[in-house]
């Protein structure tokens, strides 16, 4: 157990201050760990909490060490008027599921380790509030989770199913692609499972390697009958999740796990929905269009500032938000204005969703382009562990891409 906890601690720095993190109190420094006798009472307590130090003592939002590859840019203002509460992304997701369970008695939340709060604490407190019949654990069997979710949704109930990591959604691929997505079509609209939402933590997190870092949105973007969204922060996470729960089609919400604690902003307390299929223009510009989603949008916002300061280049930053369906009109209108576009995502280059954007831009905006469409993405390799900083499309690679577009 001691080895597991120390290994976990070596990958995460859950908080910036010692007062908030029991690991700083129990283990003075990593370099001196081997010279100290492990505090077994602390380790037992850490093991029973389920998160092993991820949740600070005071319950305040925390920040992951890996957030150093981007600077989180909170939304300028809440999406709707009314009382707000400062929360991080996992708290916003928790509140969205709380509202879904409260407003619809048929709603169920389930998945691996969901009952105690989940590995990222997104379902914390929900079983205690709504009972074991509505919030419960499942076996470690993703295809079983998906199949059960389809059955629940087919009865008209609201099913919110968690895939513990997006990397492990592939065993459920057949159920999602061949059953959930096609149910309405193959029954001639007699039946559907539109009340179905899958949640899946995705993306780079600083230590996940090839089985806890993938961004598989492109696999599902090729599937008619599904809707696929990726939030950039707490407001979008809450609004998109509630929109998916109430949508008439099965939906997948890919949640960038590094944002669970790194993303903090004022979020409306009341229920609200963010539109599926609508991109957000976060910064207006005239020279280059920058398109991304999830964590990458924060990289692009920082890059836009760097481009203005270093190159005197004005960048328009667009958060695609929705992968399927995606907002062609907003993207194409921007590219027709700027004549240059850079698309960035963490998934590998070949057949990443950026390729679909690039193809459509070429078809719709060809006569307006001043340079070829440029993609800055992950490499065509399995996601690395030690070399992750060289894999992700960080601000330096994106800025170099802007230089290439301008110099073309």
212 catalytic? Reply is yes
Number of H helices, E strands in the chain: 16, 14
Q: Verify whether residue 142 is a known catalytic residue.
A: yes
Strand 196-202, strand 251-256: pairing: parallel
Sequence-separated (6 or more) residues with CB below 8 Å from residue 312: none
pTM, rounded to two decimals:
0.84
Note the Cα 345 to chain centre separation in Å: 12
Are 84 and 268 in contact, with CB atoms under 8 Å apart?
Answer: yes
4 membership: H or E segment, kind and range: helix 2-11
Whole-angstrom distance, CA of residue 55 vs CA of residue 62: 8
**Is the distance from CB of 197 to CB of 250 less than 8 angstroms?**
yes
User: CA-CA distances (angstroms) from residue 44 to 6, 50, 397?
Assistant: 13, 10, 44
Domains of the chain: 84-268 (3.40.50.970), 280-407 (3.40.50.920)
How high is the pLDDT of residue 68? 60
- Quote the pLDDT of residue 217: 98
Which of 142, 217, 273, 388 is labelled catalytic? 142
pLDDT tens by residue, the chain, 408 residues? 333 333 333 333 333 333 333 322 333 333 333 333 444 443 344 333 333 333 343 444 444 434 468 899 999 999 999 999 999 999 999 999 999 999 999 999 999 999 999 999 999 999 999 999 999 999 999 999 999 999 999 999 999 999 999 999 999 999 999 999 999 999 999 989 999 999 999 999 888 999 999 999 999 999 999 999 999 999 999 999 999 999 999 999 999 999 999 999 999 999 999 999 999 999 999 999 999 999 999 999 999 999 999 999 999 999 999 999 999 999 999 999 999 999 999 999 999 999 999 999 999 999 999 999 999 999 999 999 989 999 999 999 999 999 999 999
Q: Where are the alpha helices (DSSP H) in 132-233?
A: 142-154, 173-174, 183-186, 217-221
Note the helical H segments in 257-352.
Answer: 259-262, 296-311, 328-338
| Closest to 271 in 3D by CA, of 127, 102, 131 | 102
Residue 335 and residue 367: Cα distance in Å, rounded? 11
Residues with Cβ within 8 Å of 56's Cβ and at least 6 positions away in sequence, in order, are 14, 15, 20, 21, 62
Give the active site residue among 69, 212, 298, 345.
212
Cα–Cα distance measured from residue 302 to residue 398, given in angstroms and rounded to the nearest whole number: 10
Which residues are CB-neighbours of 8 under 8 A, at least 6 positions away? 52, 53
- Strands 322-324 and 341-348, sheet pairing: unpaired
**Rounded to 5 degrees, what are φ and ψ at 51?**
-110, -10
């Amino acid at each position: 157990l001691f080895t597991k906890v120390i290994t976990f601690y070596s990958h995460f720095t859950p908080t910036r201050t010692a007062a908030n993190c029991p690991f700083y109190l129990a283990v003075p420094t990593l370099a001196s760990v081997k010279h100290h006798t492990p505090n077994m009472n602390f380790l037992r307590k850490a093991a029973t909490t389920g998160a092993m130090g991820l949740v600070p003592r005071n319950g305040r939002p925390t920040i992951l060490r890996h957030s150093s590859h981007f600077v989180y840019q909170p939304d300028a203002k809440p999406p709707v008027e009314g009382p707000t509460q400062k929360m991080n992304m996992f708290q916003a997701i928790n509140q969205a599921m709380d509202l879904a369970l409260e407003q619809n008695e048929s709603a169920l939340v389930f998945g691996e380790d969901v009952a105690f709060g989940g590995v990222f604490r997104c379902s914390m407190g929900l079983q205690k509030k709504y009972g074991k019949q509505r919030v419960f654990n499942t076996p470690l069997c993703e295809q079983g989770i998906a199949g059960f979710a389809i059955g629940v949704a087919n009865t008209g109930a609201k099913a919110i199913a968690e895939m513990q990591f997006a990397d492990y959604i592939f065993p459920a691929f057949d159920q999602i692609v061949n059953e959930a997505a096609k149910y309405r079509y193959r029954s001639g609209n007699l039946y559907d499972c539109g009340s179905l939402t899958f949640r899946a933590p995705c993306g780079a997190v600083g230590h996940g390697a090839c089985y806890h870092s993938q961004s598989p949105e492109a696999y599902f973007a090729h599937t008619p009958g599904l809707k696929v969204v990726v939030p950039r922060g707490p407001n979008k996470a809450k609004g998109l999740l509630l929109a998916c729960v109430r949508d008439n089609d099965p939906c997948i919400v890919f949640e960038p796990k590094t944002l669970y604690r790194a993303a903090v902003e004022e979020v409306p307390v009341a229920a609200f929905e963010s539109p599926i299929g609508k991109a957000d223009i976060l910064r207006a510009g005239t020279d280059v269009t920058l398109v991304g989603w999830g964590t990458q949008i924060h990289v692009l916002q920082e890059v836009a500032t760097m481009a203005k300061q270093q190159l005197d280049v004005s960048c328009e930053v667009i958060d695609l938000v929705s992968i399927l369906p995606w907002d062609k009109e907003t993207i194409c209108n921007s590219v027709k204005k700027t004549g240059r576009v850079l698309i960035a995502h963490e998934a590998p280059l070949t057949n990443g969703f950026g390729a679909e954007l690039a193809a459509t831009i070429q078809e719709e905006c060809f006569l307006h382009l001043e340079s070829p469409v440029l993609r800055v993405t992950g490499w065509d390799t399995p996601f690395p562990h030690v070399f992750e900083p060289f894999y992700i499309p960080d601000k330096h690679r994106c800025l170099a891409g802007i230089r290439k577009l301008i110099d073309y």
